[in-house]
Amino acid sequence: MAKTPTLQRPRPPSDLVDLNGLVMPDRFVPAPEVHAWIENAFLYGDAPLFNPDHRHLMDAQLGVLWTNCDNLRNMRVVLGQAELMPPMAMGKWARARACQQIEEWFDGMPDFLLTFSAPAAAGMDDASFCALVEHELYHCAQNEDIFGMPKFKNDGTPSFGIRGHDVEEFVGVVARYGAAAAGVTAMVDAAQRAPLVGAASIAGVCGTCLRLVA
């Protein structure tokens, strides 16, 4: 049953937003309000910002976190990240510890974990924040079989994976929010000047993208 659509954008907790230059300990805080907003804004059929490109996520469990932890990768600041769960690339104890923490946060293991920078989100306008969120949602994909059809596991549940960038992602975000809000103005300008197009600017603030090209 669909929930009542809402465009009321969730704001990060004030104690994660450094407005006075204070040194704050790194924290990660579950954001169920962001999860609910994603469903109501993007996923349900009557959602105000419904995007059919994300329809497979109706069958996915999403975990969402706010963080004030700075993340610099390949000399670029990361503002958002999508990860496939459970975490894998770590030692056995580290993985078990991480799984325990995630399951305690979300009352079980989600299919995808989305993490957003609270200080950065606090300073974004609505269009830029929506573009960042959808950018991460586009990374959360359902795998395809050899015929290009959605892939399912033996128990009938969807087989999920992390997707890199493709033309559909760029077109989808830019068409909905514009090149500036999507952070790809430089790419659009480059495309108009020459056939060689560089990486989209928004990819530079996405931890998922930087991991894929590392």
CB–CB of 120/72 below 8 Å? Answer: no
Number of domains in the chain: 1
Residue 131 lies in a domain: no
Residue 57 lies in a domain: yes
pLDDT over 50 (residue 198): no
Element (H, E) at 160: strand 160-162
Element (H, E) at 161: strand 160-162
Residue 192 lies in a domain: no
Residue 148 lies in a domain: yes
pLDDT over 90 (residue 191): no
Residue 155 lies in a domain: yes
Residue 98 lies in a domain: yes
Residue 153 lies in a domain: yes
Helix (H, G, I), strand (E, B) or coil at 101: helix
Structural domain boundaries enclosing 21: 14-125+140-164
Residue 175 lies in a domain: no
* Model confidence band, residue 101 (pLDDT cutoffs 50, 70, 90): very high
* Model confidence band, residue 166 (pLDDT cutoffs 50, 70, 90): low
- Helix, strand, coil percent content, the chain, rounded in steps of 5: 45, 15, 40
pLDDT of residue 78: 86
Model confidence pLDDT, tens digit, residues 116-154: 999 999 999 888 899 899 989 999 999 998 888 999 999
